[in-house]
Chains A and B, each alone.
Chain A
Amino acid sequence: MKRLFPIILLLYVFVHFSSCEKDDICVEGDTPLLVIGFFDFADTTLEKNATTLRIRELNSEEPIDGNLEPEDKDIKMHFDRSTTDSTGIPIRISESTTAFQFILNSSDGESEDGESTIETGNIDTLSFNYMVRENFISRACGFVANFDDLSADLSFDSENWIQDIKVVDTTIENSTAIHVKIFH
């Protein structure tokens, strides 16, 4: 029986290792954010802050706010009413277009009857069109969405703060570089 002991021990070790689930947590990849950079319209190489910027989806009252995301997250989406020269926003995977309202100098004002709050900032509407492509990352992550053929459309109104837009990268595979430049 003594001779069997090492065999049983070895079997135990095998079973032990086979039940170890090393790759249970997704760290290898993620669905990227659309990264927008703000530049000076006069000198297009110069970064220019967008002040107290609020971004929300068209026909939605809920602003995009990175404060709502977990604290340990590496890349967070746009912080509501922050002043920045580049920021990231999520786009809808279930659709091939997502429209946003970019609100410069966003703040709450009172409506004329004083009963509700209204947005006093300059609202410009931008819509992004793209193709969703699935990209297999790993066992733990499964598939993430990447986006191809990105294009952007600006709706013109009487007082656009956005002067021009340029898609610099039509493929969105990560959130580290600017995909769209906004000139103002």
Chain B
Amino acid sequence: MLRYFISLFLTLMTTMVLAQEALPQKDTISGKYSYGLRLGVDLSRPTLSFFKDNYTGLELVGDFRVTERWWLAVELGNEERKQEETTGAFPLYTYTASGSYLKVGGDYNTYTNWFGMRNQIHIGGRYAFSTFSQTLENFRFFDSNRFFSPNEFVLGSEASQEFSGLNASWLEFVVGMKAEIFKNMYVGISARLGHLVTNTEEDNFKNLWIPGFNKVTENAKWGVGYNYTLSYFLPLYKKVKKDEKAVESGPK
């Protein structure tokens, strides 16, 4: 932290010195910005895969700096999740959703860094698309009448039934932040709110969980998600800061 105070102090010193001169000068706070590609991986999905029996997932993330504040962002992932639905203690059915997704969009950095810092608090949007399949592992018939089967629901089938070729697309609102922990090394966190645009379903089974989108709630098209990323910034070229202001200084 001290380093930045010193650099700030030094730069301010420079302007003070410049103020002594008669000629109008440009503000020299402006530096050069690194442009390039940042590649990373989501840490939450492998962690969940390790600790949970019913889930495996991986997400790769990448973003590319387009302008001073805008980044082009992409996420690519694959997830599989098994879920048993119950009512109270009574099992109803078990299904597995499995598939891949791609999210493309942009992030806008709202955070104004101090000199030399390269952190981000960003908001952005994505268009996301997922192709997946759902496998119904087993099901029982829900029946509120307990006359013939007082202790459990009657078993329908234990033969797994696959619903393949399903797809869905949605728009996602993203809010998050990225902090540079070492040079060019970033940790990030983001939360996502998705809204389904298309969702192709089978007649006799609904899409209950979509890879990348998460749980599909009844009569609502909203989904929530998050990621914790670790990524590396690959500087490709540098550009001079664009919003350089000419500072009038000195007596006329």
Contacts and interface: CB of A to CB of B under 8 A. Distances in A.
26 contacts: A7-B176, A11-B189, A14-B193, A18-B214, A18-B225, A22-B220, A30-B142, A31-B143, A73-B144, A77-B145, A77-B147, A93-B143, A134-B157, A135-B204, A138-B218, A139-B206, A139-B218, A140-B87, A140-B218, A142-B139, A143-B139, A143-B140, A143-B141, A144-B143, A145-B154, A145-B156
Interface residues of B, number: 40
B145 A69 contact: yes
Given A11-B191, A30-B144, A142-B85, 7 more contacts: A3-B111, A4-B177, A7-B177, A26-B142, A92-B148, A134-B156, A145-B141
A163 to B, nearest CB: 28
Contacts of A73: 144
Contacts of B140: 142-143
Given A3-B111, A7-B175, A139-B85, A31 B145 contact: yes
Closest 5 CB pairs of A and B: A31-B143, A142-B92, A23-B218, A18-B224, A14-B191
A173 to B, nearest CB: 14
* Residues of B contacting A: mostly: strand
B101 interface: no
A94 interface: yes
Contacts of B145: 30-31, 33, 69, 77, 90
Nearest to B208: A139
A42 interface: no
B47 interface: no
B55 interface: no
A4 B145 CA distance: 53
Contacts, number: 109
Interface string B66-92: 000000000000000000010100001
Interface residues of A, number: 39
B218 A90 contact: no
A145 B175 CA distance: 44
Nearest to B92: A142
A137 B239 CA distance: 57
B93 interface: yes
A11 B177 CA distance: 11
Contacts of B185: none
A4 B224 contact: no
A180 interface: no
B139 A141 contact: no
B93 to A, nearest CB: 5
Interface of B: 85, 87, 92-93, 111, 121, 139-149, 154-157, 175-177, 189, 191-193, 204-206, 208, 214-215, 217-218, 220, 224-226
Interface string A141-177: 1111100000000000000000000000000000000
A118 interface: no
A136 B191 contact: no
Contacts of B205: 136
A12 B92 CA distance: 31
Nearest to B189: A11
Given A14-B193, A143-B156, A93 B148 contact: yes
Contacts of B208: 139
A153 to B, nearest CB: 20
A174 B199 CA distance: 28
A4 B147 CA distance: 57
